[in-house]
Amino acid sequence: MSTLETTVSIYDDFAAVKAKTESRSRKVDRDNRETVGMPFVANPRMTCRQVNVFYGEKHAIKNVSIDIGKNEVLAMIGPSGCGKSTFLRCLNRMNDTVAGCRVTGEIHLDNRNIYDGNIDVVPLRAQVGMVFQKPNPFPKSIYDNVAYGPKIHGLASSRTELADIVEDSLKRAGLWNEVNDRLDKPGTGLSGGQQQRLCIARAIAVRPEIILMDEPCSALDPIATATVEELISGLKEQYSIVIVTHNMQQAARVSQRTAYFHLGDLVEVGQTDRIFTNPSHQLTEDYITGRFG
Ligand SMILES: Nc1ncnc2c1ncn2[C@@H]1O[C@H](COP(=O)(O)OP(=O)(O)OP(=O)(O)O)[C@@H](O)[C@H]1O
Ligand SMILES: [Mg+2]
């Protein structure tokens, strides 16, 4: 190899390393509000396209397109008021219950747009279940909290079958061992962490395929939080889970993909570890490094 060739090849290596380093540090500009990263997946369970949400004149979600994959936990993060809960509620038409709220765009589940006029929201909300920030058990017994959904959806043909669904759901929610000797006691008498697992059992009992969770651990202590996080990781074997969280460590622990929202825009979606170590968008970096929000 001539001296010239050696020099060129060293220079090439140097240029490659330099380009790589620059691409790591160069971020998409703050003014760019196109979604960057990986909003779409090869094997989607739900597809959301150009979703907009308005509360009266307020444009709360702006042209958001994203897929929810099979057997994935997708975390949604972003500053308060950026639209995480609003977008989550679009996925099972919970926004229908909010006065003055209007949704446009398409959200497909099983090749149907869930916003089509002929969609019945009752089975939809069983298929796409929801767990709220504050555990909200019904003022009923532990047993009846879990049995209620299967009863109204006609999922059990006998009392034995219903009892089996209740037991199975409580087991999968990691609560059975703590409550099997007091199923007739009020659900509201459980601890906060137990109540949240009861609400998860209630959501699971109607055989959902997708579970939406809006800050499910924000009212829980660290031990109860760890139990619920473990549960979420186990549940993804069977379900797709979308979780809103303000806790970035939690997003990092439980999710495979993370979506960052900013003032109604979906700014970036990517593999969770990459979002937290090397985000592509300056706004994502500002948020995860604590400069915004
Ligand atoms: N029922 C409503 N009527 C009018 N505006 C609303 C309503 N609900 C939410 N908004 C507005 O829509 C925007 C998005 O709110 P949203 O609750 O979805 O934010 P968020 O990201 O979940 O915030 P947080 O992290 O505080 O829960 C906010 O500006 C909020 O004030
Ligand atoms: Mg919210």
Is 97 close to ligand 1, i.e. is its CB under 6 Å away? no
Q: How far is the CA of 100 from the centre of ligand 1 (A)?
A: 13
Over 80: is that where the pLDDT of 18 sits? no
- State percent of the chain over pLDDT 70: 91
Q: State pLDDT tens for residues 219-277.
A: 888 988 998 999 999 899 999 999 999 999 999 999 999 999 999 999 999 999 999 99
- State percent of the chain over pLDDT 90: 83
pLDDT of residue 291: 79
Nearest CA to ligand 1 atom 26: 80
Burial of 3 (0-12, 13-18, 19+ CB in 10 A): exposed
pLDDT of residue 19: 57
Q: How far is the CA of 89 from the centre of ligand 2 (A)?
A: 10
Q: State pLDDT tens for residues 131-150.
A: 999 999 999 999 999 999 99
**Whole-number Cα distances in Å, 173 to 51, 59, 197, 232:** 32, 37, 6, 9
Q: How many Å apart are CA 236 and CA 211, to the nearest integer?
A: 9
Q: Domains of the chain, with CATH numbers?
A: 3-288 (3.40.50.300)
Say what angle helices 192-205 and 222-235 make with each other, to 10 degrees. 20
Q: How many Å apart are CA 124 and CA 7, to the nearest integer?
A: 65
Atom of ligand 1 nearest to the CA of 88: 18
Q: How far is the CA of 287 from the centre of ligand 1 (A)?
A: 18
Pocket test for ligand 1, best of 58, 213, 217 (most atoms within 8 A of CB): 58
Is 60 close to ligand 1, i.e. is its CB under 6 Å away? yes
Nearest CA to ligand 1 atom 9: 86
pLDDT classification of 80: cutoffs 50, 70, 90: very high
Calculate the average pLDDT of the chain: 92
SS (H, E, C) the chain: CCHHHHHHHHHHHHHHHHHHHHHHHCCECCCCCCCEECCCCCCEEEEEEEEEEEECCEEEEEEEEEEEECCCEEEEECCCCCCHHHHHHHCCCHHHHCCCEEEEEEEEECCEECCCCCCCHHHHHHHEEEECCCCCCCCCEHHHHHHHHHHHCCCCCCHHHHHHHHHHHHHHCCCHHHHCCCCCCEHHHCCHHHHHHHHHHHHHHCCCCEEEEECCCCCCCHHHHHHHHHHHHHHCCCCEEEEECCCHHHHHHHCCEEEEEECCEEEEEEEHHHHHHCCCEHHHHHHHCCCCC
Say what angle helices 142-152 and 159-172 make with each other, to 10 degrees. 120
pLDDT of residue 221: 87
Q: How far is the CA of 200 from the centre of ligand 2 (A)?
A: 18
Is 264 close to ligand 1, i.e. is its CB under 6 Å away? no
Q: How far is the CA of 82 from the centre of ligand 1 (A)?
A: 7
Please state the rounded mean pLDDT for residues 158-163. 97
pLDDT of residue 111: 87
Q: Considering every ligand atom, which ligand is closest to the CA of 94? A: 1
Atom of ligand 1 nearest to the CA of 58: 5
Task: Using alpha carbons, select from 33, 75, 58 the residue that is nearest to residue 265.
Answer: 33
pLDDT of residue 14: 60
Q: Considering every ligand atom, which ligand is closest to the CA of 132? A: 2
Q: Considering every ligand atom, which ligand is closest to the CA of 86? A: 1
pLDDT of residue 5: 55
Q: How far is the CA of 1 from the centre of ligand 2 (A)?
A: 63
